[in-house]
A and B are shown apart, each in its own frame.
Chain A
Amino acid sequence: MAITSIKNLKEFSTVNERFEGAHLLCPGCAHSMIVRELMNATDDNLVIATNTGCLEVSTAVYPYTSWDTSWIHIGFENAASAISGAEAMYKARKRKGTLKDPDAPVKFVAFGGDGSTYDIGFQWLSGAIERGHDFTYICLDNENYANTGGQRSSSTPIGAHTSTAQAGRVSYGKKQKKKDMIAIMAAHGAPYVAQLAPNKWKIMAKGFQKALETEGPCFINTVSACTTEWKFNPKDTIHLTDLATDTLMFPVYEIINGTELNILYRPKNVLPVEEYLAAQGRYKHLFKPENKHVIEKIQKEIDAKWEYLQRREEARV
């Protein structure tokens, strides 16, 4: 496949963009930073399916499309199924010799939010991975159902305020832990699974290229800071993502064939999680004295997870 040079940003910036402006995502939304980078990471033809959510709703506002590629939206939960169908049809037609341009390289990609990936499209994604289609699924993880007003999802972390897990006099926000989707996808035996973050643009572009090049179903969870629901100033999207990776709230790592775990980014100075939490309105209530125990719990879990990831990396199992 033809991959774009990502040796340095200057070279990367010579690609011809295929994701157009005047989409309607909020100013500073990380969804489009991630999508642009995926599309810029290759010059192969792309067939893209997108679940319902901010990305889909904002890039296909009739009569406009922001996609200079083949792009399909069917429903909330079924981008993984739609892309499976497209990929299977492409293979069948290639076999039968009915493709117009059989030698043109094509990559199949699906995008979904955390709501459609962790919850509502979960079984559809699981099925597509198990069937072994050759595609890359990218979850734009903003830890809530942003498009419908910020409801909690199974990706929302403990302690976060959402419109359906509100913080107030009797509650500190969401009570349950975030689902470990990366482990679940790796347990499917998918050849490439990773968690990546747009602030680390090179690691992310490399991961995207690896997934696109790998035959079989690949899953990538990307940290997508949501200025509206996380409640921070749009100019700070990258700064906040720095805090996410440097507090290890979002460790950056990959798992190959379900076993080989590689940590892709080790912060020089690991920051206390307070710095990440304090930068967002959705965690504001945790700084009240009665909620201090939640911050301690979050920090403990981050430390334990980091320890676990490092051990797995070493053990190669």
Chain B
Amino acid sequence: MSKGVLATEKRGMRELGAEKAVGWDVVTQGTLLYPFESELKDVAHIRPEERPYSDFNSYTATVASWRVVKPVYNRDVCIDCQNCWVWCPDTSIISRDKQMLGIDYDHCKGCGVCAEVCPTNPKSLIMFAEAEEIEDALAKWPEKKKKAK
């Protein structure tokens, strides 16, 4: 099988299906896709940023164009509870060393689950229109809501 037919920059650069893919006649029974450039032992102990992802790994692709709305993250109110991390269906909450670092906008589909499960008041994740600038979104952050009696 020819390797690297859809070779691209390491990640986030390509829209799925946006360029001419190899024909389906290339896909036969027994097709093998290698997620890494070289044999990797113990993947579970290698951080994503240190892995030699191959062009066949969906990590190198993006679904950003699926989004109509996007989650914006406000570090000021976040308590690093990791609710957003555990329930994101698209591995798009970047958490390292127990800290929430932000959103992986190459893989986030804008489902809104993270904002929904965020427990802080005001929320640390709020959905904004995809076109909204992050700074503008942060400037519009709501105040703490008073408890309704």
Interface contact tally, CB-CB below 8 A = 160
Which chain B residues border A59 with CB–CB below 8 Å?
Answer: 58
Cβ-defined contact, B57 with A65, below 8 A = yes
Cβ-defined contact, A63 with B33, below 8 A = yes
For the complex, give the distance between the alpha carbons of A66 and B116 in Å: 25
Cβ-defined contact, B109 with A12, below 8 A = no
- Chain B, interface size: which category? 35 or more
Q: Report which of A13, A24, A101 forms a contact with B95, defined as CB distance below 8 A.
A: A13
For the complex, give the distance between the alpha carbons of A11 and B35 in Å: 27
Which chain B residues border A12 with CB–CB below 8 Å?
Answer: 82, 86
The prevalent SS among residues of B at the interface is loop
Q: Does B56 contact A (CB under 8 A)?
A: yes
Q: How far is the CB of B122 from chain A (nearest CB, A)?
A: 17
Q: Does A281 contact B (CB under 8 A)?
A: no
Which chain B residues numbered 102 to 133 have a C-beta less than 8 Å away from chain A? 104, 106-113, 115-117, 127
Q: Does B63 contact A (CB under 8 A)?
A: yes
Scan A30-72; emit 1 where CB is below 8 A from any B CB, else 0.
1111001100001111000000000000011111111111000
Which chain B residues border A28 with CB–CB below 8 Å?
Answer: 89, 109, 111-113
Q: How far is the CB of A130 from chain B (nearest CB, A)?
A: 28
Cβ-defined contact, B85 with A13, below 8 A = yes
> Which of A141-149, A229-237, A290-298 lies on the face that meets chain B?
A229-237
Chain A residues proximal to chain B, CB less than 8 Å: 9-25, 27-33, 36-37, 42-45, 59-69, 101, 104, 198, 201, 233-239
Chain B residues proximal to chain A, CB less than 8 Å: 5-6, 16, 21-22, 24, 26-27, 31, 33, 35-36, 41-48, 51, 55-63, 66, 80-83, 85-92, 95-98, 104, 106-113, 115-117, 127
